Each structure stands twice: as C-alpha cells, then as structure tokens.
Amino acid sequence: MSQPAPISHAWDDTVLPFQLDRADIRGRVARLDATLERILDQHAYPEPVAALVAEAVLLTALIGQTIDLRWKLSLQIRGDGPVRLVATDYFGPDQAGAPARLRAYASFDADALAAVAGPAFALLGKGMFAILIDQGPGTTPYQGITPLSGTSLAACAETYFAQSEQLATRFALAMGEAREPGDAPRWRSGGIMVQHMPKASPFAEGEATGEDGLLAPDDILAGDDQENWTRATTLLDTVEATELIGPHVSPDKLLTRLFHEEAPRIYPAQPVEFGCTCGPDKVVQSLSIYSAKDIAQMTDADGNVTADCQFCGAHYAFRPEMLGFEATKAAVEVKR
C-alpha cells in the first residue's frame, strides 16, 4: 500500500519577518518541512550529522531573509572533529513573491563518529563559523569569521553577530524527525531569530564576557536598550519546541502568544524551497583552466571526465576532448 501524501500547512517552508515596535527589535520565524526533507534526502547522513545540517539550514534561512540579498548568503562551519564541514547556501528570490532557495551538505568521517560522545555539536571539535555574502558579478564578496563557541550552531551565530557585526542576536531553534497521523517520519524544523535594531555600540574594550574573550549579545547594549532586550529574550525563553516546529501553531499566533505586549508588527512571509545552481555549463567552466594533459589525467576507465554535485547529488560526465582550454569539440553532457 502506498503512503498517503504528507499533510501540508500554509506556513510550511516560509520565513515570516516581524518587528517588535515597543522594544526596537526585529525578528524572523521560520518553518522548514519539505525543503529540509529534500535537502537531507540527498544524502544518507547519520542522525547527529543530519541534526547539524538541519540546524545550519534553519539558521541560514533566518539569517538570509534579514538581508536585502541580490544573490547568495552562505554558512560554512569547519571543524577538526569527525564532522569536518557543514556548508549551506541561501539564494535570494529572483523577483518579488518568488521563493528563496536553500541547499546544504556535510563532509564527515564516518569511522570517527562513534568515538565522540555527547551532543551533535561536539562532532565539530574546534574550528570556525563563517558567513559569506555574495551580491553577484561586479561586487566584492563579504566574509566574516568567528571561532566555534558555545554548545550549538545557534550559539556560534549569536557570537558571530555580537563579535563581527556588534548586533545583539538570539535564536530559539528546534528540529527533528516528526510524524503526523498517517504520515511517515520526516524532518521538520522551526525557529525564531530576534535582533536588536542597529545602533552605535556602547561596547568598550575589555568588557567582553563571551567564551574565550569574545563579545556576547548583552555586551553591546545599555540603558533602555538593555532593558528592552532582556524583556524580549526572557519572553523568547518561554517558547516550547512543539510551538517552534508546529505544525499546529501558526507563526503569527506564536508571535502573538510570545510578544503581544511588545506590539508585534508582522510582514508578508517569504516562501523557501530546495534549489541547486549546479549544471553542465558550470562544470565546463570550472575545468576550462586545465590543459589537455591535465584533462587526460582526470579521465576515467570509460573515457569520461566526471563530476558530482555535493549539494544535490547530480552526476555529470563529459568526453575529455570537450573540456579544458584546448577543447576541440563543443562540450555536450554525456549523462547526468
């Protein structure tokens, strides 16, 4: 017997912007369902690796939607533990009303996973958390990097915004496999991001209270701003995982429940979906710097040069004479 189609909700795979007028705070509520499931379906990740990818994707959706993005925002989390890399991309919508696109993948040592006990975050070890913003041709990409800190990727992101952008930021996230009646288990995630509106920072050197001398969100606020921030984050701390993931509490009702005294102003939701930008033309372009001799060394026993997309698993194969700066024939993809 075939499985029934998963139950969908209007707020699945959306990011809802909001503002707390009485607290001078902006925020986002994100719910990822089919998008996250599609990303994780590309790879057979062990559960703790899938959890790290799910958290990184949720953070990427929340952060990406705060930026007037013409092209791409990326997260790169690199560590010296069994999980060496988690990479995500958020592509801004092509036009008003169009969905933003998300993709992600992780690189890990399967044999070393079992040797590390504790939460999934411990699998990263020591390393760095980076946000990269590329606004497209003719612009200079931006990159900000902070060390891995705290006990979660959300904590790393909070440290990043405090240290690199001097913006007080908090996240409340939940993710995991969930099952609805008549449906197979599937990954869902939900989260809230709150961020104090940018102002001149009161931080003075020597006052950092975060891990390893890094700035913490509370270090960059004072006076009424600190009071408003404390009130808003105290309310955020009351949120429950079932409210974040849903599916029975819509984002607007959740905001009303949490922040009704802060006069939340809600904006139109941004839809998101899985999307990859790989393609045969990009493979050809990436190999255009190589000589015919170099291309020959890349050719497999079947006489093809192959490439696989780490994000979506697409497989490409080309005849060697179609690649490199000494190509003698137009590049035509053999198979995908």
pLDDT tens digits, residue range 131-176? Answer: 999 988 888 889 999 999 999 999 999 999 998 888 999 999 999 8
Dist. CA 310–CA 325, nearest whole Å: 25
Average pLDDT, the chain: 86
Is the pLDDT at 289 greater than 60? The verdict is yes
Select the more confidently predicted residue: 10 or 239. 239
Q: What six digits make up the tokens of 192? A: 């809230």
Is the pLDDT at 121 greater than 90? The verdict is yes
- Give the mean model confidence (pLDDT) for residues 198-227: 66
Check residue 179 and give its pLDDT.
67
Check residue 97 and give its pLDDT.
81
Is the pLDDT at 203 greater than 50? The verdict is no
Q: What is the pTM of this model?
A: 0.85
Is the pLDDT at 6 greater than 50? The verdict is no
Check residue 204 and give its pLDDT.
43
CATH 3.90.1280.10 residue spans of the chain: 280-322
Q: Which residues contact 218 (CB under 8 A, 6 or more apart)?
A: 168, 209, 226, 229, 230
Check residue 192 and give its pLDDT.
97
Mean pLDDT is lowest, of 2-11, 49-58, 317-326, for: 2-11
Residue 258 contacts residue 238 (beta carbons within 8 Å):
yes
pLDDT band at 38 (very low <50, low <70, confident <90, very high): very high
Dist. CA 47–CA 114, nearest whole Å: 12
Dist. CA 150–CA 282, nearest whole Å: 38
CB atoms within 10 A of CB 200: 7
The Cβ-side half-sphere exposure at 303, using a 13 Å CA radius, reads 4
Dist. CA 323–CA 283, nearest whole Å: 9
Select the more confidently predicted residue: 104 or 329. 104
Is the pLDDT at 331 greater than 70? The verdict is no
Positive or negative torsion for Cα 47, 106, 95, 161: positive
Looking at domain 280-322, does it have CATH number 3.40.50.1370?
A: no
What does residue 211 show for φ and ψ, rounded to 5 degrees?
A: -60, 135
CATH 3.55.30.10 residue spans of the chain: 14-274
What's the one-letter identity of residue 169? T
Q: Where are the beta strands (DSSP E) in the chain?
A: 14-20, 25-32, 72-79, 83-91, 100-108, 127-134, 142-147, 169-178, 186-196, 264-266, 270-274, 305-308, 315-318
Mean pLDDT is lowest, of 25-34, 83-92, 210-219, 232-241, for: 210-219
Pick the CATH number of 14-274 from 1.10.10.10, 3.40.50.300, 3.40.50.620, 3.55.30.10: 3.55.30.10
pLDDT tens-digit map of 262-288: 889 999 999 999 998 888 888 888 888
- Give the mean model confidence (pLDDT) for residues 3-28: 78
Select the more confidently predicted residue: 148 or 198. 148
Check residue 213 and give its pLDDT.
67
Burial of 261 from C-beta contacts in 10 A (0-12 / 13-18 / 19+): exposed
- Give the mean model confidence (pLDDT) for residues 96-101: 90
Dist. CA 244–CA 260, nearest whole Å: 17
pLDDT band at 200 (very low <50, low <70, confident <90, very high): very low
